[in-house]
A and B are shown apart, each in its own frame.
Chain A
Amino acid sequence: MKAWVKRLLTAVSMSILWLGLSGVSAPVLAQELSLTPRQILDKVDDLFRGRSSFGLGTMTVTTAHWKRSLKMEFWSKGKDKSLIRILAPKKEKGTATLRSGNDMWNYLPKVKRVIKLPSSMMADSWMGSHFTNDDLVKESRMADDYTFELTFYGEKDSQEIVEVTCRPKPEAAVVWGKVLVTALRKEYLPIFIRYFDEDIRLARTMTFSQVTELGGRRIPSVVTMVPEDKPEESTVIMYEKMDFNIGLDDGFFSLRTLQR
Chain B
Amino acid sequence: MNSLRYGWRNLWRNTRRTLITLTAVTLSTAILITSYALMDGLLVHAVSSATNLVVGEVQIHAPRYLADRSIYRALADPARILRGAREKKIRAAPRRYGYGLVAVGTKSAGALFWGVDPELERTTFDLAGHMAKGQFLAEMPSRGMILGRKLARSLQAEVGSEIVVVVQAADGSLGNELFTVTGIFKAAGDAIDRNAALIHAADFTELFVSGDRIHEIALNSRGQMSTQDLATLAADLASKEEVKTWQQLLPAVSDMVNLFDVFIWIFGLIFILAAGMGVMNTMLMATYERIPEFGIIKALGATPWRIIRDVATEALALAALATLLGTALGLAGSYYLQEVGLDTSLFAGSYSVGGVAFDPIWRAAIGLKVVLVPVVLMVIISLVASLYPAGLAARLDPVKAIHRP
Contacts and interface: CB of A to CB of B under 8 A. Distances in A.
A128 B174 contact: yes
B297 interface: no
B164 interface: yes
Contacts, number: 59
22 contacts: A63-B172, A64-B72, A65-B72, A66-B170, A67-B172, A91-B173, A92-B173, A106-B166, A108-B166, A108-B176, A110-B176, A110-B177, A111-B164, A111-B177, A111-B178, A113-B178, A115-B101, A116-B106, A118-B108, A120-B109, A121-B108, A121-B110
Contacts of B176: 108, 110-111
Contacts of A113: 103, 164, 178
Contact of B174 (A63, A116, A120, A127): A127
Contacts of B171: 66, 68
Leading 8 A-B pairs by shortest Cβ distance: A66-B172, A115-B103, A108-B176, A113-B164, A118-B108, A68-B172, A111-B178, A91-B173
A117 interface: yes
Contacts of B178: 111, 113
Interface in B60-80: 72
Contacts of B72: 64-65
B174 A115 contact: no
B172 A91 contact: no
A115 B173 CA distance: 18
Interface in A28-71: 61, 63-68
Given A66-B172, A128-B174, 19 more contacts: A61-B172, A64-B72, A65-B72, A67-B172, A68-B173, A92-B173, A106-B166, A108-B176, A110-B177, A115-B101, A115-B103, A117-B101, A118-B108, A118-B110, A120-B109, A121-B101, A121-B108, A121-B110, A128-B173
Contacts of A116: 103, 106, 108
Interface of A: 61, 63-68, 89, 91-92, 95, 106, 108, 110-111, 113, 115-118, 120-121, 124-125, 127-128
A115 B108 contact: yes
Interface in B355-389: none
B102 to A, nearest CB: 9
Query: Chain B: interface residue count, which band?
Result: 10 to 19
Interface of B: 72, 101, 103, 106, 108-110, 164, 166, 168, 170-174, 176-178
Most buried by A among B109, B166, B177: B166
A252 to B, nearest CB: 22
Contacts of B103: 113, 115-116
B108 A128 contact: no
Contacts of B109: 118, 120
B108 A117 contact: yes
Contact of B172 (A65, A106, A124): A65
A22 to B, nearest CB: 38
A67 B103 CA distance: 28
Contacts of A127: 174
B196 to A, nearest CB: 15
A116 B106 CA distance: 6
Contacts of B174: 91-92, 95, 108, 127-128
Contact of B168 (A89, A110, A120, A125): A125
